[in-house]
Structure 1
């Protein structure tokens, strides 16, 4: 099959798109938003030259829908939408895109019923890592810090702000060796959370992020969603794939997919963060053990190879009923403490972590 992706997001270039190519599919990635600013017929030309079976988008920011859907309807090309901004932007962003798409995937299991209520099929597809890219590399002295965080200052999200107060603020207050990398929004004192210049390390390329993860003693994690059973920061999978020791803000999704002090470590309070950092900085062997386990876990269960196989299975399944006839996602087997999510109609079971 031939897939035309509409932007160069790393989860496509180093993730799903790259993996589909490795599985023998034909993939082309273009930046429709930028290309259409230069040439209104950019997508028309891309489709004519590539002749895709599917056009695929994730997120859907800006005027992407206004650009692609009139063309796809006219040409009869199905659209695949990966709602990577669920659940936060379900109403404003994902739903309008999903209503015009033939296949919808979401990172947030709780949104499947919401799509269903609008007559839309939705399939669960989480973030992941790519072992061919997300692996340990030679450490760089620039990133040889006790703790680092890589990401942007999304303090406008309550869950993210709470995570900053739990994870970053206590380490800053206690003068730990901490560097924060991302866009310079971190320095803007008008934001609800900001840092001083000596803590800010600048913005990193995606390749530098991998090196930073391979160099620091502790990689910190924050999440913009703390109520979803499945949605979490994509950095979780990427950091673990790079063999990092990952200390993160607790969320239900993190607990559902990973085991504390086995694959990673989570904190629920500022005091716990300080205690965990002090404990693990003094115990490099334990850090290394957990980092190895975390990497093995995501390599075994959460790679883009796994996601691509799920993705292709949905596309290859024979059509049954209308486009708006689809099952729901729910928990079962709670008495035995097994966390399973089932997509009923497709009969797909995802084992979140070892029973």
Structure 2
């Protein structure tokens, strides 16, 4: 009865506020129907733009006119003296949340010219979204629930003149009048997989991005048909040599007597439809000249070498130029072991060019000689070529074992304990080989010749030095200290998966377009069965120690009788991230995901030691595997005065058995038990092997950051495994 009364009161309050908001909207629409007056809007003095970029505003017979002298896009901002739309405006145009506004123009403009009104919405503290509105018909826009302010800008694309004869931007009170609500397609995207990207890529880039988004491929002959039937969110073209399996060969870079008309027509088609265009020169700085004439025609330019950004800005005559290094793709570049164990050698997969400049050749010879001292294996990219300039020097012939295709590259990355990288470009802050990202993601320590970019980006995660003796010393240190080797391996995996996957690169690309699509991580709930307030405090301390951020804690009270004031426990310890439940009530729950609200769950046992990175390493494995259970089949146990790994050969492998106290499990896995029985089973640490018979996939990661039965151990023991 009390609950019903409370619900009724809440409904009455909600209804009152709705009526109040409706009255407020109606009153404002009567008092101030227009957001902007025609006179102010059509006054060229109220429009700010970058004059040096070819745009000019003027008034003709009371009409607002813009003349654009360039093919590319230019923005003109109303009142606000900048086009930095991510900033909060100083001149606020106030609106009500979820208010509807009508937009109507009378305008004339040159053929081939595209003109859109950009409506940028802001909350009290940040930009919310941007909507582009056509001038050709009356349209209606309902602003977001957090929107407090607006600003306006024109986006003018192509050469020509636009003349705005009338501009009406006014409030609409009667929602039934709304005919067409404007939706900007790219801003409706919630996941990367929903993103449609028209692309011209070479093989490697195609393989890396196709796992993350929907790639739309096409040829010079069919692009218009393909893209008309499946409109992309943006066009992404790289410095391709063979583009889309050879379809665009010689048509991206500048070649004598080869036409790029198909590419230019594609860019024009995208410009007319307000489809953003992106170019990535992955060959900078060496092949800058080959691709600059193409790159400068795109809306956004990305380069692997940040040093080239000023050159691109000068040639393209715009500021939307950014550095975009290589990255790793989790389904391809991960530490999952091969069938054959790693050999204790250094692997180099690449090419040798005897006819290239002397300094680069000398650096490569020095690096190969160092690696020979520790055991060197070479996979020669030009193994089948007979020309002498592509052959490794005779002293390295015994180390050459063949070549690898890209789909066999796993053998180079995970078949050996170390990997060699040699840099052609030394003094770029961002440009170095993709093999560095891919090797680190595979858990393989990388030995590299000097590179400014590697040193800046990874510091000592990569063994790097300009002095050969320092490189030798770093190698010897890892060879004699197994823990140091695994620390280097684990730190590399964490760094790449935390910052340098192709999802992170897409997040950066979209952010520069004004679209925020975060790189989401799987969530995990740490569960603990508690019998006293002291155990609650210990469980919270164990939980807060974990480096992994996307986590929750669920405390299950064993018995109300164990606590003198159960209401205090629930009120005091319950937070946004911590929940409290009575274990006995869990008999009524079988939907673990709905109850906990996370993707994974795990039960912490107070008798075990859980290191800082315990959860992080397990949850990173959920990115590169589809396992139902992820745990540690190999773990440390105390034997006398030593820590000894149990089942030493079960790391980064799919296995047949795991245990709950050292695993995370998917909350949507069907255990066919209520939550109480499942927790009791987990508390007894009953094997998960039985679920293998029902198709459960189990994956075992590394042995570190966990010790079984560690209550009698002190800090020095924990320091040995916490890496």
| Per-residue deviation, 1:48 | 4.3
The reply on whether 1:64 has 2:213 as its aligned counterpart is no
Q: Does 1:4 align with 2:178?
A: no
Tell me if the contact between 1:225 and 1:232 (Cα under 8 Å) persists in the aligned partners: yes
Q: Which residue of 2 aligns with 1:309?
A: 507
Q: How many angstroms apart in 1 are the aligned matches of 2:374 and 2:387?
A: 21
| 1:108 matched to 2:301 | no
- Check the 8 A contact 1:179/1:200 in 2, yes or no: yes
Task: Indicate if the aligned counterparts of 2:200 and 2:240 stay in contact, CA closer than 8 A.
Answer: no
List gaps (5 residues or longer) in structure 1: 319-355
In structure 1, what is the Cα distance between the partners aligned to 2:376 and 2:207?
A: 33
2:197–2:216 CA contact under 8 A, matched in 1: yes
CA distance in structure 1 between the aligned counterparts of 2:211 and 2:204, rounded to whole angstroms: 10
Change (3 A) 1:303 1:54: same
Distance 1:289 1:298, change over 3 A: same
Q: Helix, strand or coil for the counterpart of 2:389?
A: coil
Q: Quote the residue 2:444 is aligned against.
A: 244
Deviations 1:42-66 (A, max 9, x none): 4445434433343321123352232
Could you tell me which of 481, 484, 493 is aligned with 1:295?
Answer: 493
**Alignment of 1:224 onto 2:424:** yes
Which is worse superposed, 186-195 or 109-118? 186-195
Cα distance 1:289–1:73, how it changes in 2: closer, same or farther (>3 A)?
Answer: closer
Separation in 1 of the partners of 2:512 and 2:341? 44
Structure 2 unaligned regions, length at least 5: 1-185, 187-195, 242-248, 253-259, 517-723
Q: 2:345 aligns with which of 132, 146, 156?
A: 146
Query: 2: CA distance between counterparts of 1:175 and 1:6?
Result: 42
Is 2:271 the counterpart of 1:84?
no
Between the aligned partners of 2:473 and 2:455, the Cα distance in structure 1 is 20
Q: Residues 18 and 159 (structure 1 numbering): CA distance in 2 closer, same or farther, change over 3 Å?
A: farther
Q: Which has a greater percent of strand? A: 2
TM-aligned CA distance change 1:267 to 1:63, over 3 Å: same
- Does the aligned pair in 2 maintain the 1:139–1:212 contact within 8 Å? no
The CA distance in 1 between the partners of 2:251 and 2:437, in whole Å, is 27
Give CA-to-partner distance per residue, 1:241-286, whole Å, 9 cap, x none: 11111111121111101122xx221132444444443443333332
1:156-208 Cα deviation digits (max 9, x unpaired): 36664344123113434x48343334232787432485465432232223342
Residues 1-355 of structure 1: pairs in structure 2 closer than 5 A: 1=186, 2-14=196-208, 16-19=209-212, 21=213, 26-29=214-217, 32=219, 41-61=221-241, 62-65=249-252, 66=260, 68-77=262-271, 78-93=276-291, 95-118=292-315, 119-120=317-318, 121-141=320-340, 144-153=343-352, 156=356, 160-172=360-372, 174=373, 176-184=375-383, 188-191=387-390, 193-194=392-393, 196-260=396-460, 263-316=461-514
Contact kept? 2:421, 2:435, Cα under 8 Å: yes
Residue 135 of structure 1, CA deviation: 0.7
1:243–1:249 CA distance, 2 compared to 1 (3 A): same
Distance 1:73-1:295 versus aligned 2 partners, 3 A rule: closer
The alpha-carbon deviation at position 213 of structure 1 amounts to 1.6
> How big is each residue's C-alpha offset from its partner over 1:108-138, in whole Å with a ceiling of 9 and x where there is no partner?
1111111122214311222111223311122
Q: Which has the larger radius of gyration?
A: 2
Q: Is the 8 A contact 1:80 1:103 kept in 2?
A: yes
Residues 67, 163 of structure 1: CA spacing in aligned structure 2 closer, same or farther, 3 A cutoff? farther
Deviation at 1:105, TM superposition (A): 0.9
Going from structure 1 to structure 2, the CA distance change for 1:175 and 1:264 (only over 3 Å counts) comes to closer
Give the 3-state SS of the residue equivalent to 1:146 in structure 2.
Answer: strand
Q: Deviations over 1:283-338 (max 9, x none)?
A: 333222101111111111212121111111122369xxxxxxxxxxxxxxxxxxxx
What is the distance in 1 between the residues matched to 2:222 and 2:341? 41
Q: Secondary structure at the match of 1:258?
A: helix
8 Å CA contact retained: 2:463, 2:471: no
CA distance in 2 between counterparts of 1:55 and 1:161 reads: 38
Q: Which whole-Å CA distance do the structure 2 matches of 1:284 and 1:105 have between them?
A: 40
Q: CA deviation at 1:147?
A: 0.8
RMSD: 2.9
Sort the Cα spacing of 1:51 and 1:233 in 2 relative to 1 into closer, same or farther, 3 A.
same
Aligned to 2:582: none
Tell me, in whole angstroms, the C-alpha distance in 1 between the residues paired with 2:285 and 2:384. Answer: 23
1:134-164 deviation digits (Å, cap 9, x = unpaired): 1112234496251101223356366643441
Aligned-pair distance for 1:82?
0.6
Taking the aligned partners of 1:186 and 1:243, their CA distance within structure 2 comes to 32
Q: Kindly tell me: are residues 200 and 316 of structure 1, through their superposed partners in 2, closer, same or farther at Cα, counting changes over 3 Å?
A: same
Give the TM-score of the pair, scaled to structure 2: 0.38
**Are the structure 2 counterparts of residues 268 and 185 from structure 1 closer, same or farther at C-alpha, using a change threshold of 3 Å?**
farther
Asked if structure 2 preserves the Cα contact closer than 8 Å seen for 1:106 and 1:125, the reply is yes
